[in-house]
Structure formats: structure tokens, C-alpha cells
Structure 1
Amino acid sequence: MRSRARSAAFGLAGALVGAPLVLVPAAPATAAAPASAAAGTITVKRGGPARTLTFTTRRAGEAVIAFTATAPGVSWARKGAESAVVAIFVDGRHVTDLVVLSADPTPRSLGLGRVGPGKHKVTLRFAKGSAPSARRVVLARPTVRLPQADQLALRHAPVVVGRTGWPFGNPYQNATTDAPLIAWHETRPATTPGHRIIEYSVVWSNEDGGTDSPALMARWGRTTDIEWVYRVEVDASGRRVAGTGVYQAPQHLTLKFTGRYEGDHPVLQTCTSNNNMCDVITPKAPLRFLLDASRTKPAARAREVVMDREPWTYRIMAQEMLREGKIEKLSDPATKAVGDQRTYLFVELAKRTGAPTGSGSAPGVSLGVRLKRDPSKLYRSDHDEPTWSIERDGPAATTVELPQGTTVADIASIEAIRRPVGIGDNGAPATVTSINRGFFLRSGYLPQRSAISWTGSLTLTPQSPTATLWRPMA
């Protein structure tokens, strides 16, 4: 009786999520699967049969599958236990892979590509590339939907083929390092009236090349890698304007996309150690990712806000640093090496730079924190390294390393520091206008609730290079 009730509830939930499309997932088990599979839960086992989920839609469109994923025995923090990989097919076509990075339940969503009206079958198989300790993946509350409001963004989202290190590398690299975690899109008007530009970005768990980890923490406020991947112009009907597709190529170059499309999805491949793209695909590359790109980012916030909305990405970020030996054994704010990431204050500020008054290098801004127990000591986000201050204007994230055990209640003040990033000083003022959030990571490397915010306007000059932005309320 209880099993039938749960199954009915699952079907009803699918129908409601798809409204007015009436998406109706069927019982998520194949005839060959064990009858003990719980309604609303799919378990995919190493060496076991493929599992299936069917859904029906009354119109064509881009589909998304969502679930809570867990893989017992898996930990992104342990070598040999990094992940479990599930290959996902729609009507027999390999659409995307899911890399499950944790034994902890994690909400995930993936694109399934364009489907036509009628009934469709999603097939899930335990795949190569999984860690030796991975035995099964449990997907709870799987739901397929065609989100009407996000169709345009989903329609043009890139397929990202996994990094292989071809011809001699590991073809399953993204199952053990630099895993693609989440994607999002941003839109802006194009020059042609009625046209829009859509840009897609991806968050990877880390980058094996490019900016080193201490500089990432200082200049970007995280050790994940965030890169824009693909940008395209669409007309008023949502059609791709021929010749407008570009991608971020090696050396961060912007190149015209000349590769192949699957429908309107460009097929790109992660081809560098710092997660830049190529539009020529390695033959037989086994992993491919069609991430759910329906997420957006508020215009007045830093890119890192997409991680704030998916807190599990911070845990994966920290675990990769631990596994790859990029964390110093004894955390010390006096060193430039990355310490325990739970000792950092994660801050987002907003600033703008004025016109220069002379020659020389432009100023950057860093943050300094003073603690109540010793307010004479200043802990700096840039570790007193000029090139680690924040040059870019607008919202920007950074971190400040503090002694172990520090909490927001221990902070006496946060101040902004103007400093030229190179030789000389061009005299330009730098105005800080907000602190948008400030938090520490909890014991499980998940963000605490932000307890720091400030708005105002404080201008830093060569004559007055510092200003206090925030103090705790009395």
C-alpha cells in the first residue's frame, strides 16, 4: 500500500513540474531491475543492469533532469575514491555524463537536449572512469521537466567534452580532477534591435594549470576555476545568428566557433589544464557534459554567487585541494601558501576605478582584517603581494586568511587598501561601494550564513590609501 502511494505521488509530482506540458515520469526501473527498487529512487550499480526512466511531453523542447545524487564509498577528498560516473542516454543517444563526487546527498541537474512530443526513455548506466571504491549511485526523486521560461538558454547551451590529455593521458580526467560542477548563462542586448547575446560559463572544481592556488584565493576568492565557455547572438525568434558563435580558446583567446552542432548545442572540449576550450574534439573521448545552464547570475553580483547558491561546490573545492596536497599542513596566515580553507573569510566587495592623473600602474584594492584580540595586526587578502590585489571593477570576490578558530564575532574591523599592482602609480582613485557578503566555511566546508554587509562610498587615493569599511555593531 505504501509503495503504491509513493509511486503515485512520484507520477503526480512529474505531472505538476511539467505543467502545462504534462511530463509524467514512469516508475524508474527496467524489467530486468530488482523489484526492491524504491519508487522515486533509482540505484545504478557497478556491473548491474541499466536503469530507465520514461517521460511524456506534449510539445517539443529542451529537457532537464534533476535529482539528489549520492555514491556510497565515494569521496572527492580521497585518492582512489574520487567519484562514480553515470552515463545518461535519451532514446538510445548518449547525451551527458554525471560525475557523482560525494557520499553526501547532493542536488544535481543536467540537460537532456531537445526532445519531440511523445514518450521518451532516459537510460542510466554505471560507467567507466568510476573510482575503484565506487559501487553504486543512488538518485533520489528524479524528475524530468521542460522549463518553459528557460528554453532559449537551454537550447544553445554547449556540450563540453571531457579533458583526455590526448594522445597519452587519462581519457577520464574529469572524474578525478577539475570536474565541471555547474553552469549558468548571462544575456545582454545585441547591436541589432531585438537580438540578444547569450554567454555560458562553467565552474570547475579546480584548475591544474593557470593561476596558482594562493593567487586564486586572493584575486578571485576561491580555488575553483570559473570560465566563460561559449557566446552566441540569437535573433528575436531565438535562432542562432550564423557566424556569431565564439568560444574561449587556449591562452584565453576568443575564437570563432567552427566545430559541429548538435541541434543548436555547440560541441566543445576542455583541452587545456586551465579548462579552456577547443572546437576540434578528440576521437572517442568518453566523457561529455550537458550541464543545466538555466541558472543566471544577478548583474550586480560577482560570479562566485552561483557557488553561494550551490553550497556543495565549496565542499568539493576544498576536498580537491586536500587530495592534491595543495593545503599547507599547519595553517599560518603569515605564509602565502593556502591554509585550511575554513580559516578564510570569504568576502565579496564592489569597487570602481577613476581616471588616472599620471603615468604608472593602475591601483588594485585588497582587504584587511583586524581582530579584537590584537587590533594592531592587519591580515591582508593580498598577503602584501601587489599583483594579488583586485584590479577589476564591479563586484569581486576575495578571501582573507585568519588564525584558526576565528569567527565573525572576533573581527574588529575590515578595511580597504589601495595599492598599485606594478611599477609606479598612475594616481587613479579607487572607490569601494559595498561589501555584499562575508562568511566562513563550517566544519564540513559548507558556507555559513553571511554575517557581514556594508554599503557606502569610500574613495582611496595615493594620499589616503586606506579606509575602514565595516565594524561590528555595538
Structure 2
Amino acid sequence: MKRIGRTLAAAAVVAACAVTGLAGPAAAHPAHPGSELLVDRHRPDVRVPFLVKRNGEAVLDLRAAANGTDWATAGAESAVVSISVDGKYATDLVVSGAAPLARQLALGGVRPGIHVLRLHLATDRSPVAGATVRIDRLEVTTYDKRDPEYQVLRFAPIMYGRNIAELGSRFQSATTDVPLIAWHEFAPAATPGHTVLTYSLIWSNEDGGTNTPALMARWGRTTDIEWTYALELDEHGDRVPGSDTYQAANHETLHSAGVYEGDHPRLETCTSNNNMCDVVDDPMRFFLSTLQTLPAGQPREHLMDTNPWTYQIMSKEMIREGKIEAPGPATTATPEVNDQRNYLYAVVGKTTQGNNSGSSWVGVALGVRLKNGNAVYLSNHVDPTWSIQRDIPAATTIELPAGTTLDDIAAVSARRVVVGADTGAPVHVTSLGRGFLLGPDYLPGPSLLDWTGDIELTTAAPEAVVWSP
């Protein structure tokens, strides 16, 4: 059973030690209204004790904000808090924006007793080194072997940042392609009774790999989502020796041969498109909680939907890095990415009959027609290869004229798109989901689409309206 050490902000910080209570098995609750911990370079580091009753894996929940930081503004992207337990470096937290944001981090293995959590403003890696980070919620939860979550936390990778010289400073993960959230998935292994446990991660963007317009068309976002580490567990829940792998450069799967902290492998983001290596030399460390998981039948972007702040970070990075089409006479016909608030974010489910790989294949693009005209705005713009090839629930976006609202949409259609020679393969469209726009604050608004059925697209009938109000 998990044990919760409540470490809640008190009204004052005395002699660099903020003590708000120690607790055993009890329900967590938010900090008292108006109370907060302040972390900056003008104050001693905040030190907060917490109690652990059994060996386990610790998770830190907190809510943080920093005035004067803004992920959209060059030179003011963030303030970085380095967090340690009993003097041992656990993780960095990149804080961006004045609005409090809830985050969940891992602290690693802990033994019974009283431990001290330390929060330090890392001025060496903070673009806004003079910021004050305000924390108004802070609690540590320990999961032991009796908890189902323990296994997921036990093997979770510790991710280090990226320091490719041509892409920025040695602390570039504080300003670009920052790790945002991580999660886990279980799947049956080939050996009966064994399980494959896979960990994945979302970065705010990728400076290499798929270009920005293609990301929006083929994947429905400009974040980067990759599996990072996988291992096989035996019938007792232990790692099968030699089974653990990671996603290396060029998306190659390699066996891990790096350093472990307990059962946690240390991996580093070491390519411009956020692939891993098992040799660590980056100064920034991201130990994200992996307690979240992906429900069956959902695209990976579902984890962004359940963490809507990721859309805000995604959009602000595109603005700051100049990857958004300049305002002006540009139209939806241009492939460049426009203001990301001008897109309908959708998910399509489909199946393609026969082999759909190689140089010739059949994809699907979604189209939107508005009530005030007959033009159909397509998710793949003018590039057939930007249509959706994969036969799993797939996210995409459709660029719409600025100012479009959900009430303006008259119909959503699906179009069969041929790449190379037409294989003749029919495509069955079976679901549409999501259908939201980003609001003025770049957060997702209400969803429009919730359709299931079966519509066949063929060479003779390549397009069909799938949904209309």
C-alpha cells in the first residue's frame, strides 16, 4: 500500500527549512490557501522532510509557477529547479509561465525513515536566473511492492537532456525540445506468462526529423512522441536478463548497456529528433513519473489531451522558433504551419485491405467544408505523402480560415489518397473523434466529433462525407 508523506507549504520558511507535517497512510490534500514555497537565488534552498515507512519508489506531485518566464519568449523561456533527495540529485523541473502548473516527477527508490527533499534554483541552466519559483502544492507518495504501481516505477528510465553543440547550449533542454510527460504500456510477451513493459515520452518539439507541416498533417501535433525504453518481465515481475532495449539513433532498437541506478536505466536524448543513447554526459536530468498509461484504442496524442497544457507549450515553442507562418495574406492553401489555433484537431480510425507498405500505398486525408462555402480544406494540403498511412487510431489536423468556430463546420469528409501507383486497396473508415480547436490560450476547447460506423473508400468512390451536424 502506498504511503503518503505530506510535505505541504507552510506560511513561512525558517532557516531554510519548510516543515509542513509528516504523515503515514493518509489522504493527501492541497496546501493551505495562500501558502507557498519560494525558490530563488536570494533565499536558502528549500528543504522539506518526508517520512517513508517501507522500501519503495517515491513520486513527487507539485504545482509550480515563475513570474517573468514565458516559453514563447526567447531568453525568458524558463526557470529550472533542481530537486534532490538526501543530497542526491533526482531531477530537474523546467518551470515556464506565471500560471501554476501541476507536474508529477519520480524520485527513485527510498528506504524507511525521514528523508529531506531539497529544491534549488539552478541558475546555471535557468534562462531567467533571477526568477522566483512559487510552489503552492507539494507532496511525496511512496509506492511499495504491495502496490500495482510499484512495478511501473521500479523500471522507469531516468532521462537526461540534450547537449548537441550545433543545436544550442549545454543546457538546451531548458529552452527547446524539453521532455514534458512520460507513460507506460503493458503487452503480452512471446513467452507465456511474460509481459513487455514499454515506456514512452513526449517532447515539446523535435529540431530534426519530420518537418513541421508534415507533423501537423500526419501526426496532428508538433510535439515529438517516441517510445524510449522497453523490457520483458517474467512471471514474477522481474526483468528478464538481456531483454531491455531502447530507441537509438535512426529509430534503431538496441540493447541497453549503460549505467543503472537500482533498476532504473540512465538514457540520454542525443539526436536532433530525440532518439536515445545509453552513454550519459548531459548535465540536465529528467526523471518523469511514468504512472500514466495509454488506454486501448486511443492514439498516443490522447496523453496530450489528458495533459492539455502540453498544447500550450507546443504552440509557444513554434512561435518562438519562427516555425509559424507570418501573419498576412497567407491562405490555408499554403503548406506552412499557421497559427495552431486555426486547426481542427481530429482522430480517424481506418483499415486498409491488403498490403499497404512500400513505395506505393493508399492513405486517407480528412476534409472540412464550412457552412459559408463549398471549399474543402484537407489535412494533407497538397502532398499525398502527408496523408495517413497507419491503420491504428491516428491524429491529424485540418487548417481552417482564421476565426473559424465549431459552429461554422458543415461536414467532415474522408478522402482516399494514392501515393505512387494505385494498388486498388479499399479503405474502411470506421471512426472519427476529438474535433476540437485550441482556444485563445492555446488550450483545447470542446470536442465536436464522436462518430463510429463503416464507410468504404475505393478507386471508384474515393471520397465520402463521414460526419455532418
What is the TM-score when the length of structure 2 is the normalising length? Answer: 0.92
CA distance in 2, matches of 1:167, 1:452: 43
The answer to whether residue 15 in structure 2 is matched with residue 32 in structure 1 is: yes
Which residue of 66, 79, 84 maps to 2:74?
79
Residues 88 and 382 of structure 1: is their aligned pair in 2 closer, same or farther, counting only changes over 3 Å?
same
* Equivalent residue in structure 1 for 2:408, among 399, 407, 410: 410
The whole-number CA distance in structure 2 between the counterparts of 1:30 and 1:237 is 45
SS of corresponding position for 2:151: helix
Partners of 2:168 and 2:414 lie apart in 1 by 45
Q: Spell out the pairing of 1:48-127 with structure 2 (5 A cutoff).
A: 48-127=43-122
Q: Name the CA shift for 1:350/1:122 in 2 (closer, same or farther; >3 Å).
A: same
- The answer to whether the 8 A contact 1:66-1:142 is kept is yes
CA gap of 1:289–1:356, structure 2 versus 1, over 3 A, is closer
| Equivalent residues of 2:203, 2:223 under 8 A apart | yes
> Are positions 1:448 and 2:445 aligned together?
yes
Structure 2: how far apart are the matches of 1:415 and 1:36?
Answer: 58
- Note the C-alpha offset of 1:180: 0.5
**Partners of 1:173 and 1:447 in 2: CA distance:** 28
SS of the equivalent of 1:453 reads strand
Amino acid in structure 2 at the alignment position of 1:96: T
Bigger mean CA offset, 431-440 vs 142-151: 142-151
Distance 1:279 1:459, change over 3 A: same
Q: 1:320 is paired with a residue of what secondary structure?
A: helix
Give 1:27 deviation, angstroms: 6.0
2:128 counterpart residue number: 132
Aligned twin of 2:202: 203
Q: CA deviation at 1:190?
A: 1.1
Task: Name the SS of the counterpart of 1:183 in structure 2.
Answer: strand
Residue number among 403, 422, 425 corresponding to 1:428 in the alignment: 425
1:116 is displaced (CA, Å) by 1.1
Higher deviation after alignment, 339-348 or 322-331:
322-331
What is the deviation of 1:239? 1.4
CA-to-aligned-CA distance 1:72-119 (integer Å, 9 cap, x gap): 110000011100100010111101110112221111010000111121
Residue identity matched to 1:401: E
Structural mapping, 1:271-350, within 5 Å: 271-282=270-281, 285-330=282-327, 332-350=331-349
Structure 1 residue runs without a partner (length 5+): 1-18
Q: In structure 2, how many angstroms separate the alpha carbons of the residues matched to 1:31 and 1:121?
A: 15
1:412–1:92 distance in 2 versus 1, CA, 3 Å: same
Q: In the alignment, which residue of structure 2 is the partner of 1:260?
A: 259
CA distance in 2, matches of 1:440, 1:306: 17
Contact 2:13 2:37 survives alignment (8 Å): no
For residues 408 and 72 of structure 1, what CA distance do their matches in structure 2 show?
34
Q: What letter corresponds to residue 138 of structure 2 in structure 1?
A: P
Correspondence list, 1:362-401, <5 A: 362-374=361-373, 376-401=374-399
Whether contact under 8 Å (2:81, 2:92) holds in the other structure is yes
Q: 1:47 Cα shift? A: 3.8
Q: 1:359 to 1:160 in 2, by over 3 A?
A: closer
Distance 1:168 1:408, change over 3 A: closer
**Residue 27 (structure 2) aligns with:** none
Paired residues in the alignment total 450
Structure 2 counterpart of 1:42, one-letter code: L
1:250-293 Cα distance to aligned partner (Å, 9 max, x none): 111111111111111110000011100011112xx210001011
Quote how far apart the aligned CAs of 1:36 are: 12
The aligned counterpart of 1:6 is none
* Residues 323-364 of structure 1 deviation map (CA, whole Å, 9 limit, x = unaligned): 011111125211100001000000011111111599971101
Contact 1:217 1:399 in 2 (8 A): yes
Query: 1:358–1:310: structure 2 CA closer, same or farther, 3 Å change rule?
Result: closer
1:345 touches 1:399 (CA, 8 Å); kept in 2?
yes
| Inter-partner Cα distance in structure 2 for 1:205 and 1:400 | 20
- Paired letter, 1:436: G
Q: Distance in 1 between matches of 2:233 and 2:165?
A: 34
Distance 1:20-1:146 versus aligned 2 partners, 3 A rule? closer
Separation in 1, partners of 2:161, 2:96: 16
Q: For residues 360 and 324 of structure 1, do their structure 2 counterparts lie closer, same or farther at Cα, with a shift above 3 Å needed?
A: closer
Q: Distance in 2 between matches of 1:116 and 1:139?
A: 26
CA distance in 2, matches of 1:22, 1:381: 47
> How far apart are the structure 2 equivalents of 1:397 and 1:73?
34
How well do the aligned residues superpose, as a CA RMSD in angstroms?
2.1
**Cα distance in structure 1, aligned partners of 2:317 and 2:445:** 20
- The residue type paired with residue 320 of structure 2 is R
Structure 1's 67 and 26: CA in aligned 2 closer, same or farther, altered over 3 A? Answer: closer
The answer on whether the counterparts of 2:202 and 2:225 sit within 8 Å (CA) in structure 1 is yes
Decide whether the 8 Å contact of 2:232 with 2:240 is kept in 1.
yes
Separation in 2, partners of 1:30, 1:435 = 52
1:12 alignment partner in structure 2: none
CA deviation string 1:212-231 (max 9, x = no partner)? 10000000000001111001
Separation (CA, whole Å) in 2 of partners of 1:67 and 1:233:
32
Identity of aligned residues (%): 51
- Secondary structure at 2:50 match in 1: strand
Contact 2:40 2:133 in 1 (8 A): yes
SS of equivalent residue, structure 1 residue 438? strand
| Cα pair distance change 1:369/1:110, threshold 3 Å | same
Distance 1:27 1:412, change over 3 A: closer
Return the letter of the residue paired with 1:104: A
Task: Give me the TM-score of the superposition, normalised by structure 1.
Answer: 0.91
